[in-house]
Amino acid sequence: MIRLLQIDASARPGRSGTDPHGSHTRRLTARFADRWRQHRPGDEITCRDVGLAPPAPVDADWVRAAFTRPEARDDAMRARLAESDRLTAELLAADIVVFGAPMYNFGLPSALKAWIDNIVRVGVTFGFDRARGDTPYWPMLPAGKRAVVLTARGDLGYEPGGIQAHNELVVPGLAAPLRYIGMGAVDVVAIEGDEFGDDRLATSIVAAEAAVDRLVDRLTVGGAAR
């Protein structure tokens, strides 16, 4: 059985094409999950909606608790880390993490950044030992996990080599911390042109949905899903 973790980060509750002012990324994550179920109905899909229920941001109490040895934590520390424990447990259990990650002001939604900050956990998703010298950190995620980033952008030209590529901070904003904890494989599908709302947006949606279908087919039928 393959375990998928679907993380939606859009502040919009609905899906474009179905709900007024709905989210393009929710449209893509729903399509990904539906097509996956068609191929592999027995697999497990866990949904985490950080857009509508954001994790609490990391604060001083969180940092103090996370960097205290587990056996030395008091009840208040354990309570402060309880949400982070749930989020990291979902991540550790997943084989593939599917992100619905819209671009907000060139980067990640704050709710998704809060999720990242909660799952980058010393002793849980990365290790740290000063005795290792200049490389005290190492990833702790089990090998083989991969990420799928389904994003949407208001403007055009954010693809690699595009005129706005240097301003595309969503994919690197996810890929860098995921790579740090041990998830190196990242597939990306994007919708562009939302601000224009014309044929360019419509064409981009059609292309993105086709790309999602091909990606699911490759990850399931093609054998990438183990």
Is 140 labelled a binding residue?
no
Known binder of ligand: residue 183?
Answer: no
| Residues 33/98, Cβ–Cβ less than 8 Å | yes
* Alpha-carbon gap, residue 128 to 202, rounded angstroms: 47
- Does the annotation list 118 as a binding residue? no
* Residue 128, annotated as binding a ligand: no
122 contacts 66 by C-beta, under 8 angstroms: yes
Of 163, 170, 197, 165, the closest CA to residue 186 belongs to 170
Residue stretches of the annotated binding site? 10, 103-106
Residue stretches of the annotated binding site for FMN? 10, 103-106
